[in-house]
Amino acid sequence: MSGQMAQAFAHNFLGHSPRWYKACVIVFLILNALAFFTLGPVVAGWMLVLEFIFTLAMALKCYPLMPGGLLVLQAVALGMTTPKALYDELVHNFPVILLLMFMVAGIYFMKDLLLFLFSRLLLGVRSKAVLALMFCFLSAFLSAFLDALTVTAVIISAAVGFYAVYHRVASGNDPRQDSSVDEDHDLPSLHHQDLEQFRAFLRSLLMHGAVGTALGGVCTLVGEPQNLLIGHEMGWHFVDFFIKVAPVSLPVLVAGLVTCVALEKLRWFGYGTLLPDNVRAVLADYAEEDNRERTARQRAALIVQGIAALILIVALALHLAEVGLIGLTVIVLITAFTGITDEHRLGSAFKDAMPFTALLVVFFAVVAVIHDQHLFSPLIQWVLALPADQQPGMLFIANGLLSAISDNVFVATIYITEVKQAFVAGNMTQEHFETLAVAINTGTNLPSVATPNGQAAFLFLLTSAIAPLVRLSYGRMVWMAMPYTAVMGGLGWYAVTYWL
């Protein structure tokens, strides 16, 4: 009986994660305790940071909240930081938590409008290069004012919908009835080639859209969570942030859009596949029938969402309130005027945001350890000891490399806090502090597209329902992101070094 219970506990620990991963977490916890009592809290602190980055890099094996949370709980128990230090970090970064809680949920209620726009785009544009450009640009624009995760969710929803419609029709099923689209055994052989081509077509659009969220997300205060965090530390409002970052973000945006068109024209790195005519015909027939059956209430809801989107953009531009409160305003307006009054329907809007919000609290706990043990002070001092003109470029590279293998919000939190401490200590001017803040922000946003680990939107895409359907693997994402990484990272570094 005792053996069965031990097996049950072992199986339950971190669920379906691989055994080697579970063993790693247990070894981490044992080694941390030994290091703390024998080598001291600084060594144990560095071990904690590296282990936490490991959990972020292995996010596909297990969501980092659980293993990262265990590591943080141990750190608090050992005295490497305190609950009060963590609470102070949370209070200091409360605007970021508000953003994740309410803005992502607010955009959830705009999904119908966004899906409508992307659907019209997919079927209305014949040229693949123009379609890819518009997909990338629209994703960038929406991410600049909304939220990269939500925009990615909309693109995924549209792609899943289109894929399911064609797969069901090709399999002889009713496209409006739920049926499995995971298997191709019911698909006649004459449709297999069209399906493979359609998968490649969707893969390229999904990657263009995901990169677009990064291109637009770097531009504004609300584009990415770390932007708001950095803007909060600097005291920048929406317009201030846009102007400060523009010398880097706007040239990179243009270069990214040019790269998008070039990849489609040259058909490099898995891009350039066209939408098969048979697939287009099926999707067009479905969309036309959908339009005919749209009710007056559904059309009215789309109008309300459009008005709410305009209010959102104006409120953000004029900084009428904290970003999270503007998101709550959007929730109230859309739900009140579209008839959403059920508590369970409201709850669905918060499902995407809350896991990452909880993970952000763990981020801040690790940051509290870094503060209390002064772990990053020597590194920041080394960077600040360099000539002033070299510091922004070095920070960009350091942030980019670390963000590509871990998480850009975590990296940005560490670096902006350490640099601000140096500024408060009188080690730099206000102007130089602002330049370094821009370097940190762009460094965590641009080169991090190299891997799914660096961008939350990329990781969301990789773990979504559409990825296995269109055969979008980790390695394929890295390969397809490679040209964007080179262009965005290279030009970003040059702009930070010479144009700020």
Residue-wise over 429-444: b if at least 16 C-beta within 10 A, else e?
eeebbbbbbbbbbbbb
238 near 245, Cβ under 8 Å?
Answer: no
Q: Does residue 482 surpass a pLDDT of 90? A: yes
Query: Residue 307: which pLDDT band, with cuts at 50, 70 and 90?
Result: very high
Identify the H or E element spanning 306.
helix 296-318
Distance CA 459, CA 59 (A): 8
8-state DSSP, 100? I
The share of the chain scoring above pLDDT 70, in percent, equals 94
Which residues lie below 8 Å from residue 162, measured CB to CB, with a gap of 6+? 119, 122, 202, 283
Picking from 483, 459, 446, 454, the residue whose alpha carbon sits closest to that of residue 260 is 483
Count of Cβ atoms closer than 10 Å to residue 6 Cβ: 10
User: Can you give 205-216 as a three-state secondary structure string?
Assistant: HHHHHHHHHHHH
Q: Does residue 133 surpass a pLDDT of 90? A: yes
Picking from 162, 269, 120, 199, the residue whose alpha carbon sits closest to that of residue 469 is 199
Q: What is the mean pLDDT of the chain?
A: 86
Query: Residue 184: which pLDDT band, with cuts at 50, 70 and 90?
Result: low
Picking from 414, 438, 441, the residue whose alpha carbon sits closest to that of residue 93 is 414
Query: In the predicted model, what is the mean pLDDT of residues 421-435?
Result: 89
Distance CA 406, CA 447 (A): 12
Query: Residue 126: which pLDDT band, with cuts at 50, 70 and 90?
Result: confident
Query: Residue 107: which pLDDT band, with cuts at 50, 70 and 90?
Result: confident
Distance CA 297, CA 86 (A): 47
Distance CA 99, CA 353 (A): 9
Picking from 156, 152, 186, the residue whose alpha carbon sits closest to that of residue 168 is 186
Query: In the predicted model, what is the mean pLDDT of residues 126-141?
Result: 91
Output the pLDDT for position 96.
Answer: 75
Query: In the predicted model, what is the mean pLDDT of residues 233-238?
Result: 89
- Ramachandran assignment for 241, one of left (phi > 0), alpha (psi -120 to 50 degrees), beta (any other): alpha
Output the pLDDT for position 456.
Answer: 72
Output the pLDDT for position 270.
Answer: 92
For 426, the 3-state DSSP assignment is coil
Query: Residue 497: which pLDDT band, with cuts at 50, 70 and 90?
Result: very high
Query: In the predicted model, what is the mean pLDDT of residues 299-313?
Result: 90
Distance CA 356, CA 153 (A): 14
Distance CA 152, CA 318 (A): 26
The residue with greater pLDDT, 157 or 325, is 325
Q: Poorest-confidence range of 309-323, 423-437, 483-497?
A: 309-323
Query: Residue 182: which pLDDT band, with cuts at 50, 70 and 90?
Result: low
Output the pLDDT for position 181.
Answer: 60
Q: Return the amino acid letter for 125.
A: V
Q: Does residue 494 surpass a pLDDT of 90? A: yes
Output the pLDDT for position 159.
Answer: 84
Query: In the predicted model, what is the mean pLDDT of residues 443-456?
Result: 84
Q: Does residue 446 surpass a pLDDT of 60? A: yes
Distance CA 41, CA 45 (A): 6
Query: Secondary structure of the chain: what % helix, strand, coil (to 5)?
Result: 80, 0, 20
Distance CA 70, CA 59 (A): 15
Q: Does residue 253 surpass a pLDDT of 70? A: yes
Q: Does residue 144 surpass a pLDDT of 80? A: yes
**What DSSP line would sit under 120-164, residue for residue?**
HHHHH---HHHHHHHHHHHHHHHHHHS-HHHHHHHHHHHHHHHHH
- 381: its two tokens: 């001092």
Q: Does residue 179 surpass a pLDDT of 60? A: no
What's phi and psi for 374, nearest 5 deg? 55, 45
Q: Return the amino acid letter for 144.
A: A
Q: Does residue 1 surpass a pLDDT of 70? A: no
Query: Residue 260: which pLDDT band, with cuts at 50, 70 and 90?
Result: very high
The upper half-sphere exposure of residue 78, i.e. CA atoms within 13 Å in the direction of its Cβ, equals: 26
Query: In the predicted model, what is the mean pLDDT of residues 260-286?
Result: 90
pLDDT in tens, 308-358: 988 988 887 777 888 788 889 999 999 999 988 888 888 878 876 788 788
Output the pLDDT for position 277.
Answer: 85
Query: In the predicted model, what is the mean pLDDT of residues 460-480?
Result: 84
pLDDT in tens, 29-47: 999 999 999 999 999 999 9
Output the pLDDT for position 261.
Answer: 96
- 252: its two tokens: 């990179």
Q: Does residue 178 surpass a pLDDT of 70? A: no
The residue with greater pLDDT, 22 or 145, is 22
Query: In the predicted model, what is the mean pLDDT of residues 443-447?
Result: 91
